Amino acid sequence: MSDQPAQQKLPLAFLHGEAVLEKPEDLYIPPDALEVILETFEGPLDLLLYLIKRHKLDILELPILSITQQYVQYVEMMQDMQLELAGEYLVMAALLAQIKSRLLLPVHEELEDEEDPRAELVRRLQEYEQFKKAAENLDQLPRVDREIFVARALMEDSEEPQMRLPDIEMAELLLALSDVMARAKTFEHHQISAEVLSTRERMAAILQFLSEQSEPVEFTRLFTLSEGRSGVVVTFIAMLELLKEQLINCLQVAPAVTPASAIYLSLKLQE
Amino acid sequence: MKRRISDEQLVELVEAAIFVADKPLSRKQLKETVLLDINVSDKRLRDALDTLSEHYQTRGVKLVEVGTGYRFQACASLSPWLSNLWQEKAPKYSRATLETLALIAYRQPITRGEIEQVRGVTVSSNIIKSLLERQWIKVVGYKEVPGKPALYATTRQFLDYFSLNGLDMLPELPPQQGEKLDQMLDDPSVREPSE
């Protein structure tokens, strides 16, 4: 064994002032390797993020040329394999090419205010990365039936009275049947008459009524019970229409107090 | 005429009700069901729940307040052993589902288009459908833009599932490196050299 000091390896290159001793193994991804991970991407942004991380680069340094080359290679390979290529991937390829071409243009003095063409893409990548991480965090949260087990107790059922169903006589069964038949008869003939109550008309009536009031009106006051079921339904539909068209407000005062706290309607003030 | 019960009886009743109910029980639900004909002030009910919570501090189950109310659940530290009780493991969710859910949770109310904008891909109808079916999300309105797209938000059941008391208990959104972006744009040397 010699005791001569180990020779210092010569750095291959300097990157950001740091010596690079080993050839980075992940500098380039052969297309056939991409084949394996084809399915694992959630879209073009995800693929771009992956390529950037493989380069051990910051999103902010978005190296358009090399990233575009790899990206296009990936897309071409997908086409060669005749895989159904999501349109979004092609849109991104076009965007990358566009950014690249804009970067090649000389910068005009008078256009200095112009944004770096990469800025928008960088922003989207950052935002996507943010939510990609948020999704991972969400996945880590304890969940019911995975980390959280809900405790439950059963009611003792011996206390419950056992129901014994009585035997039924044939006569009673027939009696019940005749009841049903009698009721069915009433449905035999229908008389169809023209709609007496128009929803539009009712909407106008409600608006008219509300505009005459200085304060919100209690929901039930808008119904005229003597009109029967169909009248109530038409009024209600008219209310829904007005709410949908944002012509009236519907509010409930302190719904926490009683289960059926009063509902109030008022006109929506026009600006 | 409402009945009166002792504090001890109240604690027992509340404990039993939360245990036998199929779903978490809120204070309001307790008052409207098991305590319907019993004279209990809000403060007494809260005190009873506090007493219960304290009582279970040293036990294998705990009283917790989640999105829709109170429930008992096993201590999280016991989960690795408890999970052996079931042969089927809890389902795993795809990244697409989780990313969609994360966007709805942090950006609600949000439209499908806005989700797609961030993710850069179409959100499949199945994902939205299954999230709706699980009642983790719901439609809370329609955006006043052409097409009136539905606005989605998370539900209280979503909070229940992740044992959260409110949305503010979600892990903080990872920070963006916004300042550095501005720096890059100001620094002409960062521009890619043209060949």
Q: Which tokens in the block code for residue B52?
A: 């219960």
* A231-254 per-position pLDDT tens digit: 778 888 888 888 888 888 777 665
pTM, to two decimals: 0.61
DSSP string, chain B: --B---HHHHHHHHHHHHHH-SS-B-HHHHHHTTTTTB---HHHHHHHHHHHHHHGGGSSEEEEEETTEEEEEE-GGGHHHHGGG-SSPPPP--HHHHHHHHHHHHH-SEEHHHHHHHHSSPPPHHHHHHHHHTTSEEEEEE-SSTT-PEEEEE-HHHHHHTT-SSGGGSPPPPPP-HHHHHHHHH-GGGSPPP-
Who among A103, A136, A145 is closest to B90 (CB)? A145
Grouping H, G, I as helix, E, B as strand and the rest as coil, residue A67 is helix
CA distance, residue A45 to nearest chain B CA (Å): 6
DSSP state for residue A214 in the 8-state scheme: S
Chain A residues lying within 8 Å of B95, measured CB to CB: 42, 132, 135
* B93-131 per-position pLDDT tens digit: 999 999 999 999 999 899 999 999 999 988 989 999 999
Q: A52 touching B, CB under 8 A? A: no
Grouping H, G, I as helix, E, B as strand and the rest as coil, residue A83 is coil
**pLDDT for the residue numbered A54:** 77
Instruction: Give the Cα separation of B148 and B91 in Å (integer).
Output: 34
* A170-186 per-position pLDDT tens digit: 666 667 766 776 766 66
Q: A92 touching B, CB under 8 A? A: yes
Kindly list the structural domains of chain B, giving each domain's residue range(s) and its CATH number in brackets, ordered by start: 5-81 (1.10.10.10), 93-186 (1.10.10.10)
**Confidence band, pLDDT 50/70/90 cuts, at residue A2:** very low
| Sheet of B137-142, strands arranged across | B110-111, B150-154, B137-142
Chain A residues lying within 8 Å of B67, measured CB to CB: none
Chain B residues lying within 8 Å of A149, measured CB to CB: 73-74, 79, 82-83
The low-confidence residues of chain B, meaning pLDDT below 50, are 188-195
Q: A135 touching B, CB under 8 A? A: yes
Give the residue from A108, A113, A116, A125 with the most B CB atoms within 10 Å of its CB, the best one to mutate.
Answer: A116
CA distance, residue B30 to nearest chain A CA (Å): 13
State chain A's mean pLDDT as an integer: 73
ipTM, 2 decimals? 0.80
Kindly list the structural domains of chain A, giving each domain's residue range(s) and its CATH number in brackets, ordered by start: 14-105+116-139 (no CATH), 199-267 (1.10.10.580)
**pLDDT for the residue numbered B88:** 82
Who among A45, A140, A150 is closest to B120 (CB)? A45
Chain B residues lying within 8 Å of A99, measured CB to CB: none
* A93-119 per-position pLDDT tens digit: 888 888 888 877 776 655 555 677 788
**pLDDT for the residue numbered A168:** 58
Instruction: Give the Cα separation of A73 and A47 in Å (integer).
Output: 12
| B181–A60 CB contact, under 8 Å | yes
